Amino acid sequence: MRFHPISLLIITGVLLGLGVLPAAANGCRPCGFAGLCQEGGVTTECGPVQAECVPSKGILLISSLPPDVPVYWTLTTRGRPRPGRLVGRLRAFADADDARPPVPGFRRRRCQRNRPAPVCFGRSARFGGQVAGDRLTAVARWRGGATCEFAGTIRFGLGEPEPNWFICRDAAGQVLSEGPFEVQGIRLSGCLR
């Protein structure tokens, strides 16, 4: 069966537009990374380097740890993926029974208290980060100028070899809170190394 050259161009354009041929478009061989690898038939926790995947999009779930009021953050990427960059929105929530978390976005709490598990939701922020090896360094920016900076290992837990750490500041640069964070969920995709 032979195709007319214009037909091939149209088919290729449609497939690229649908994201079916990303590997052909930019040399990326797609991969998925969920924090687990197979070694000798055994599933173990691992980082993106061991999985040979350079993340560029997906979802990352992290939470702050005591002594502050626990905050649960969800990073959801948006836009055109670029290997080694995670860009999107950072959303936060906290248990409604606790005091207001000392992080940006919770000034006016939106709470659902009449639920079996009452929670409060903070305002979302723009998020931009770089992935180098297994390490993520990123900044979330809220409207009004408040920020949270994150440095951690994209691996379940508190970070290895360096601990995961965050620091949040108000618009004037005053530290609101800082401390360790834990990676609780990983669903990323990207390009094979």
Rounded mean pLDDT, 69-83: 88
In a domain, 14, yes or no: no
Q: What's the pLDDT tens digit per position in 30-42?
A: 998 898 888 888 8
Q: Is residue 41 part of a domain?
A: no
What is the arithmetic mean of pLDDT over 112-123? 78
* Per-residue pLDDT tens digits for 163-179: 899 999 999 999 999 99
> pTM to 2 decimals?
0.80
Number of domains, the chain: 1
The whole domain housing 118 covers 55-187
Is the residue at 69 inside a domain?
A: yes
Least confident among 28-37, 56-65, 104-113 = 104-113
Sign of CA dihedral 152, 153, 156, 158: negative
pLDDT value for 26: 60
Enumerate helices (H) and strands (E) in the chain, giving the number of each. Answer: 3, 13
